[in-house]
């Protein structure tokens, strides 16, 4: 979905969202309607409201800017809220009055790099509390279109940092924890979260093909194994309140008009129907059905196809769908319209929208925004997500004191606007690295630097940077890619460091002083930095949020140890020779494969991250043997792939003298099941905290039958008997054998799509 909407529409949406949340269920016209009866079931309540509407009133409430029904006392409602890493700007959100800001956490990619789902749950809880506080006070809807869980398949994707990375196990763990925090654990939802963009969406505009017309050709194997599982977590396992269908088509059918995607898989196979939640389109995606995919002759027919396929709400700018035309042309009937409206309003019933002060989360308010706990968590996740990629001669942590003179050079050293990334609301504060260094009492000299890929460092930049560096004990260079402004409209053509920045870094390296590079934005090919002897250390910082500056300085100084891991592969610059439109994961004669599972030429791989100490990690067992019949014998879950397998036990010893966290990563590999075989696959992870020098801590790596299974060519999830190898850490420290005995067993039979004409 877009972040660029017109100011006029934004102002109108703000005006329409003012006032207390929900209708008057005490003395208003709806008071006698069952929608206001808390003793009735959510489906009964929603059905009663829809039954009271006239035809035109129904049509007026099928889009994101729903008009409400004044005759019934049903307020207008804008379904479009955003909360990717904190409550953010959106047409339905109003940052006015006392509600002028919200906690701004790092971008999801950096949060995922901490590999700590307990922390992600706490952050989701904070975001959900703040979002509900906005909603309770008429400043926002109760619907928030987050999280973005499309796998980060290609390093050029402009929106990749919105996601938890490239690995399915990591995405599912992040998603499960975040949704539990966002929506809460009560019968009523705190907010209605929305999993997006369903499905096969991971490009914006590349070499003349854009997201509005792209037809993603995906095999059933890749669809079931990679593109779908995050959404399975949302629907089947986390029972999220809402989904968003995407702009693109999959195998010839626009997702918002595809009953196979929306009904067969989402509602039927994943049993999402019983929760009767709603599906919104991405904004303008309905118009794309006819205008760009040419799947329908007119917008009216395309609009009808979407609602018939299972979409329930059209997110739109003016004219993005043609609901009146679909109705008057006879393409839409009352049965389909009523079904969509019932799903929408049942979602609001389940969030207490019609319950006023009696709603479960009605007490959340201004005092729940920007709390001390929220500030603490924002700083913690930012610091713990930072990834140390180079540290020659143990340069970091720097022995900083009040007498230390530090040159802070580069475009974001003293620019707070570079901390937040896309989909950010006004933060209570934005503390950049220079601010943080000054708070530490350091003697700081600053100089800015070049930004763009092809810009040339002018003489003033170079002169000022060298002057600052020459007068200092240490040099901190803050560079990388500043791409957040164009992230949702353009994909990258290059994944190299900007030439002008490399020129300046080389000049700084020639000074022979301790030089630390802190890179913002998405991961690019760091080869020149890694190979340059004069650069002692390299930290990846992505977009670190409201306390990004203090987080960086705490890691640089050693107050918080470096322990983050890369949630994505660092590809070589020439990887861009591959078409971004090729959705295949497995290597072919013309392509080398995608993600760490299939690509064997990473500059630095998924899961890599250095520490300020050294660790020895081992499995507690020397080998493992599991009987498939025994594993299945005690499996009583509706979905067998979710049944637990005995956890792997690991022992991690800090063999240095600095206390540090350690992220234990367990991978599996083996020439078992359908070829070609993945290089390895992450199956479990855990973050062990505060391991002191010479201390050993034990940890457990939980897993399920699904973690041990593979997906066949038809998309079925299969448990294959055979010999596997378990690997611990990246790079691997320990390997042990794992044997699965018994018969090949299908855990999940994937529904096949209908034959297309």
What's the mean pLDDT in 584-609? 96
pLDDT for the residue 19? 44
Mean model confidence pLDDT for the chain: 94
pLDDT for the residue 458? 66
pLDDT for the residue 648? 93
What's the mean pLDDT in 50-78? 97
Q: DSSP label at 313?
A: B
CA distance 224 to 711: 7
What's the mean pLDDT in 699-706? 96
Which of 170, 173, 13 has the alpha carbon at shortest distance from 78? Answer: 13
pLDDT for the residue 306? 98
Is residue 96's pLDDT more than 90? yes
What's the mean pLDDT in 204-224? 97
Which of 316, 345, 382, 374 has the alpha carbon at shortest distance from 133? Answer: 374
What's the mean pLDDT in 512-531? 97
Burial pattern 299-317, b for ≥16 Cβ within 10 A else e, equals: bbbbbbbbbbbbbbbbbbe
- Which runs of E-coded beta strand occur in 259-350? 278-281
CA 375 to each of CA 107, 223, 440, 545: distance values in angstroms, whole numbers, following the listed order: 15, 39, 18, 11
pLDDT for the residue 316? 77
In degrees, to the nearest 5, what angle opens at C-alpha 473 toward C-alphas 471 and 478?
Answer: 90
Burial pattern 625-661, b for ≥16 Cβ within 10 A else e, equals: ebebeebbeebeeebbbebebeebebbbbbebebbbb
What's the mean pLDDT in 725-736? 98
The angle that helices 42-51 and 334-349 make with each other, rounded to 10 degrees, is: 130
Report pLDDT digits (tens) over 371-406.
999 999 999 999 999 999 999 999 999 999 998 999
pLDDT for the residue 7? 31
Active-site choice (125, 282, 312, 712) = 282
| Percentage of the chain exceeding pLDDT 90 | 92
Q: What is the pTM of this model?
A: 0.96
Report pLDDT digits (tens) over 126-176.
999 999 999 999 999 999 999 999 999 999 999 999 999 999 999 999 999
Position 11 confidence tier, pLDDT thresholds 50, 70, 90: very low
pLDDT for the residue 9? 32
Position 200 confidence tier, pLDDT thresholds 50, 70, 90: very high
Q: Which fold has domain 381-577?
A: Rossmann fold (3.40.50)
pLDDT for the residue 12? 33
Position 666 confidence tier, pLDDT thresholds 50, 70, 90: very high
Is residue 631's pLDDT more than 50? yes
**Cis status of the peptide bond prior to 402, with omega within 30 of 0:** no
pLDDT for the residue 482? 78
What's the mean pLDDT in 684-706? 97
* Domain ranges across the chain: 1-64+193-216+241-359, 381-577, 615-748
pLDDT for the residue 273? 82
Report pLDDT digits (tens) over 282-307.
999 999 999 999 999 999 999 999 99
CA distance 286 to 300: 10
Q: Are strands 734-741 and 722-728 parallel, antiparallel or unpaired?
A: antiparallel
Same fold, 381-577 and 615-748: no
Report pLDDT digits (tens) over 237-282.
999 999 999 999 999 999 999 999 999 999 999 999 866 689 999 9
Is residue 74's pLDDT more than 60? yes
User: What's the CATH number for 615-748?
Assistant: 2.60.40.10
What's the mean pLDDT in 678-692? 98
pLDDT for the residue 417? 93
Name the residue with higher pLDDT: 481 or 236.
236
pLDDT for the residue 484? 60
What's the mean pLDDT in 449-465? 73
Is 210 part of the annotated catalytic residue set? no
pLDDT for the residue 123? 98
Which of 746, 752, 751 has the alpha carbon at shortest distance from 641? Answer: 746
**Residue 7: partners with Cβ closer than 8 Å, 6 or more residues away:** none
What's the mean pLDDT in 627-631? 96
Position 757 confidence tier, pLDDT thresholds 50, 70, 90: low
């Amino acid at each position: 979905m877009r972040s660029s909407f017109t100011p006029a529409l934004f102002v109108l949406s703000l005006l329409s969202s003012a006032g207390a949340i929900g209708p008057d269920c005490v003395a208003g016209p709806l008071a006698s309607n069952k929608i206001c009866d808390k003793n009735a079931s959510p489906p009964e309540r929603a059905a009663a409201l829809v039954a009271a509407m006239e035809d035109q009133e129904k049509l007026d409430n099928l889009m994101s800017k729903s008009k409400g029904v004044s005759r019934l006392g049903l307020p207008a409602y804008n379904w479009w809220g955003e909360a990717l890493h904190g409550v953010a700007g959106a047409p339905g959100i109003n940052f006015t009055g006392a509600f002028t800001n919200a906690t701004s956490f790092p971008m999801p990619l950096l949060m995922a790099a901490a590999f700590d789902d307990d922390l992600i749950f706490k952050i989701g809880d904070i975001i959900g509390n703040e979002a509900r506080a906005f909603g309770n006070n008429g400043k926002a809807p109760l619907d928030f279109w987050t999280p973005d869980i499309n796998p980060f398949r290609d390093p050029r994707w402009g929106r990749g940092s919105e996601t938890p990375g490239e690995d399915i196990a990591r995405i599912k763990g992040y998603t499960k924890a975040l949704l539990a925090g966002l929506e809460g654990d009560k019968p009523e939802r705190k907010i209605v979260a929305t999993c997006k963009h369903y499905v096969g969406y991971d490009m914006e505009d590349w070499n003349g093909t854009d997201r509005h017309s792209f037809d993603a050709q995906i095999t059933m194997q890749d669809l079931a194994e990679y593109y779908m599982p995050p959404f399975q977590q949302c629907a089947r396992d986390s029972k999220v309140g809402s989904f968003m269908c995407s702009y693109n088509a999959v195998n010839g059918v626009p997702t918002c008009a595809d009953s196979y995607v929306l009904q067969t898989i989402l509602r039927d196979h994943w049993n999402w129907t019983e929760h009767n939640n709603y599906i919104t389109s991405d904004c303008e995606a309905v118009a794309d059905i006819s205008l760009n995919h040419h799947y329908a002759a007119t917008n009216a027919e395309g609009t009808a196809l979407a609602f018939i396929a299972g979409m329930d709400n059209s997110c739109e700018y003016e004219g993005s769908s043609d609901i009146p035309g679909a109705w008057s042309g006879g393409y839409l009937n009352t049965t389909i319209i009523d079904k969509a409206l019932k799903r929408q309003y049942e979602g609001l019933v389940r969030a207490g929208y019609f319950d006023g002060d009696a709603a479960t989360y009605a007490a959340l308010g201004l005092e729940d925004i920007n709390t001390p706990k929220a500030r603490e968590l924002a700083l913690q996740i930012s610091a713990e997500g930072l990834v140390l990629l180079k540290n020659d001669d143990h340069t970091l942590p720097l022995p900083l004191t009040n007498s230390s003179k530090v040159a802070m050079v580069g475009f974001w050293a003293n620019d707070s606007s570079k901390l937040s990334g896309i989909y950010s609301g006004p933060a209570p504060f934005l503390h950049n690295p220079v601010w943080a260094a000054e708070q530490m009492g350091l003697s700081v000299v600053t100089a800015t630097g070049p930004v763009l890929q092809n810009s040339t460092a002018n003489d003033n930049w170079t002169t000022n940077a060298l002057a600052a560096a020459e007068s200092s004990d240490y040099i901190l260079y803050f560079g990388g890619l500043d791409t957040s402004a164009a992230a949702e409209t353009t994909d990258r053509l290059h994944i190299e460091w900007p030439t002008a920045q490399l020129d300046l870094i080389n000049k700084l390296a020639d000074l022979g002083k301790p030089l630390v590079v802190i890179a913002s934005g998405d991961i690019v090919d760091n080869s020149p930095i890694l190979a340059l002897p004069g650069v002692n250390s390299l930290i990846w910082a992505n977009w670190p949020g409201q306390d990004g500056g203090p987080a960086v300085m705490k890691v640089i100084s050693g107050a918080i140890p470096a322990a983050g891991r890369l949630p994505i592969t660092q590809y070589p610059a020439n990887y861009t020779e591959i078409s971004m439109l090729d959705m295949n994961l497995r290597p072919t004669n013309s392509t080398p494969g995608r993600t760490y599972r299939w690509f064997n030429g990473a500059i630095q791989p998924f899961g890599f991250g250095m520490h300020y100490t050294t660790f020895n990690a081992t499995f507690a067992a020397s080998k493992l043997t599991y009987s498939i019949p025994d594993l299945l014998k005690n499996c009583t879950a509706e979905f067998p792939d979710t049944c637990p397998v005995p956890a792997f036990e690991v022992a991690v010893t800090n063999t240095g003298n600095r206390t540090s966290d350690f992220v234990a990563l367990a991978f599996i590999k083996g020439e078992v099941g359908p070829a070609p075989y993945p290089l390895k696959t992450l199956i479990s992870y855990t973050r062990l905290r505060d391991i002191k020098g010479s201390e050993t801590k034990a940890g457990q790596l939980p897993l399920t039958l699904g973690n041990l299974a593979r997906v066949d060519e038809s998309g079925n999830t299969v448990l294959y008997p055979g010999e596997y190898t378990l690997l611990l850490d990246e790079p691997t420290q320990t390997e042990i054998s794992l044997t699965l005995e018994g018969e090949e067993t299908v855990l999940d039979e994937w529904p096949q799509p209908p034959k297309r004409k």
